[in-house]
Amino acid sequence: MKKPKLSLFIFIDAFGREIFLRHPFFLQGLIRDHKKLDTILGYSSACDPSIISGKLPCEHLMWSSFYYDPKGSPFKWTRALAILPDSIFLRGRVRHYLSRLIKKVLGFTGYFQLYGVPFKYLPLFNYAEKKRIWVPGGLLHGETIFDKLARHGIPHYVHDSAVSDETKLARLTADIESQRIEFAYCSLGKLDALMHAVGTRDPKVTELIHWYDQQVRRLITTAEEHYEEVSWYVFTDHGMHDITEGYDLISDIQETGLRWNEDYVAFYDSTMARFWFLTDEARQKITARLNTHPKGRLLTDDALKHEGIYFADHLYGELIFLINSGIQIVPSFMGIKQIKGMHGYSPQDADSAASICSNRELPESLTKIHQIYHLMHKETGYCD
Ligand SMILES: [Zn+2]
């Protein structure tokens, strides 16, 4: 016997508006409505918590991953590892296993990667996403859809970030076939990883979107066989830019002659640099250097407020520099090599835009990714 209702929320990382429009075969014939959504300036560390809470980073307090906090840093003990030569730590595999080890030692359950953060700098920083965000109580501040699902005892599926897209889909299919669930949130990561590696125009991208198309169609068919009513939404948090050049911003800052951890501390993301100042001279010199920088711009408080990423205590940086779209900061603390695709640029770019499609009509009020939460909330049928 069929169960009454299933709500499916399928998240395909980096399946932005431009990528969606370039692949019109995707769920063709099944889509009732689709639209562009504005992304949130930042990375998945900012977008994911926003989508599942309906709040902006300035409200749920999760924007970037690493932030300056020498007193509260959980990484002080890693100082001992810094005596080993950099050549060892720069190896991807070594960093991958060390990330796993550190995550385990610290009891982190959230997404954690060391990327290219120099070991000797790690004790200066803290990390925002210590806890898994996909469970009740997962955010630093406020509730998510998972708090709500738990409170109302709604049986649901949520992906395990540690397994492959294939395994996530297989587990979700099993839950649908056994009619165990009424709600599902499944985040798929393969497309994001592929486009970081090959860019947005490689034939492999189209091939993978064909695969996603088949997988989602199969999922919907299975759902319709087991439930009277199926609402489905396929969406993402951001798009992807092709990288046109790499730029060594760290050298620009070093050329000022200012001393690391005496005058300033910085965190270099792939598309942003965030600074904390220990002297006024450093504040003035770095501001002056970046104010007229040909490769990017400083984000004013007004711009940060407009994006919902202004923090009165400057948690994620006292000064934030955003590089021009298509340029990758190389080296950065996120990686030492230039890659083919990146996101985290100006949300106003067409390539930054997110997307959503559904077999339901989408409300006009839905314009930005964090509002996807309201669709999920409505699907649960509860008002609180
Ligand atoms: Zn990505």
DSSP track, 199-263: -SSSHHHHHHHHHHHHHHHHHHHHHHHHEEEEEEEEE-S---EE--EEE-HHHHHHTTTPPBTTT
Mean pLDDT check: name the lowest of 242-246, 334-338, 344-348: 334-338
Instruction: State the pLDDT at residue 88.
Output: 67
Share of the chain above pLDDT 90, in %: 83
Instruction: State the pLDDT at residue 108.
Output: 83
Place of tokens 């994006």: 307
Q: Are 159 and 168 in contact (CB under 8 A)?
A: yes
Decide if pLDDT at 103 tops 90.
Answer: no
Q: What is the mean pLDDT of residues 221-234?
A: 98
Mean pLDDT check: name the lowest of 132-146, 211-225, 266-280, 340-354: 132-146
If you measure from the C-alpha of residue 84 to the centroid of ligand 1, how many angstroms do you get, rounded to a whole number?
A: 30
Decide if pLDDT at 72 tops 80.
Answer: yes
pLDDT tens readout for residues 244-262: 999 999 999 999 999 999 9
Decide if pLDDT at 97 tops 90.
Answer: no
If you measure from the C-alpha of residue 60 to the centroid of ligand 1, how many angstroms do you get, rounded to a whole number?
A: 21
As a residue count, the chain comes to 384
If you measure from the C-alpha of residue 262 to the centroid of ligand 1, how many angstroms do you get, rounded to a whole number?
A: 33
Closest CA to 273 of 229, 10, 208, 289: 289
If you measure from the C-alpha of residue 11 to the centroid of ligand 1, how many angstroms do you get, rounded to a whole number?
A: 13
Q: Which tokens in the block code for residue 181? A: 């669930």
If you measure from the C-alpha of residue 237 to the centroid of ligand 1, how many angstroms do you get, rounded to a whole number?
A: 10
Closest CA to 49 of 134, 158, 149, 156: 134
Q: What is the mean pLDDT of residues 338-353?
A: 98
Higher pLDDT, 74 or 145: 145
If you measure from the C-alpha of residue 27 to the centroid of ligand 1, how many angstroms do you get, rounded to a whole number?
A: 23
**Cα of 279 vs its chain's centroid, Å:** 32
pLDDT tens readout for residues 265-304: 999 999 999 999 999 999 999 999 999 999 999 999 999 9
If you measure from the C-alpha of residue 109 to the centroid of ligand 1, how many angstroms do you get, rounded to a whole number?
A: 20
Q: SS3 for 360? A: coil
If you measure from the C-alpha of residue 192 to the centroid of ligand 1, how many angstroms do you get, rounded to a whole number?
A: 5
Instruction: Break the chain into its structural domains and give their ranges.
Output: 3-58+139-241+347-380, 66-127, 244-338
If you measure from the C-alpha of residue 240 to the centroid of ligand 1, how many angstroms do you get, rounded to a whole number?
A: 8
Share of the chain above pLDDT 70, in %: 98
Q: What is the mean pLDDT of residues 305-322?
A: 97
If you measure from the C-alpha of residue 190 to the centroid of ligand 1, how many angstroms do you get, rounded to a whole number?
A: 10
Q: Which tokens in the block code for residue 360? A: 């339901």
If you measure from the C-alpha of residue 257 to the centroid of ligand 1, how many angstroms do you get, rounded to a whole number?
A: 33
255 Cβ contact partners less than 8 Å away, ≥ 6 residues apart:
none
Decide if pLDDT at 33 tops 90.
Answer: yes
If you measure from the C-alpha of residue 231 to the centroid of ligand 1, how many angstroms do you get, rounded to a whole number?
A: 27
If you measure from the C-alpha of residue 93 to the centroid of ligand 1, how many angstroms do you get, rounded to a whole number?
A: 19
Q: What is the mean pLDDT of residues 7-20?
A: 98
If you measure from the C-alpha of residue 341 to the centroid of ligand 1, how many angstroms do you get, rounded to a whole number?
A: 8
Question: How many Cα neighbours within 13 Å face the side chain of 283?
Answer: 8
If you measure from the C-alpha of residue 384 to the centroid of ligand 1, how many angstroms do you get, rounded to a whole number?
A: 33
Confidence of residue 77 (pLDDT cuts 50, 70, 90): confident
Decide if pLDDT at 383 tops 70.
Answer: no
Whole-model pTM?
A: 0.94
Place of tokens 């990484």: 75
Confidence of residue 370 (pLDDT cuts 50, 70, 90): very high
If you measure from the C-alpha of residue 5 to the centroid of ligand 1, how many angstroms do you get, rounded to a whole number?
A: 33
Instruction: State the pLDDT at residue 380.
Output: 92
**Cα of 156 vs its chain's centroid, Å:** 22
Q: What is the mean pLDDT of residues 60-81?
A: 89
If you measure from the C-alpha of residue 338 to the centroid of ligand 1, how many angstroms do you get, rounded to a whole number?
A: 14
If you measure from the C-alpha of residue 280 to the centroid of ligand 1, how many angstroms do you get, rounded to a whole number?
A: 35
Place of tokens 């076939």: 177
- Its CATH class, for the domain covering 3-58+139-241+347-380, is alpha beta
Computed over every residue of the chain, the mean pLDDT equals 94
Domain 244-338 has CATH 3.40.50.300: no
Closest CA to 111 of 201, 192, 202, 37: 192
Question: Quick one: DSSP state of residue 361?
Answer: P
Decide if pLDDT at 90 tops 70.
Answer: no
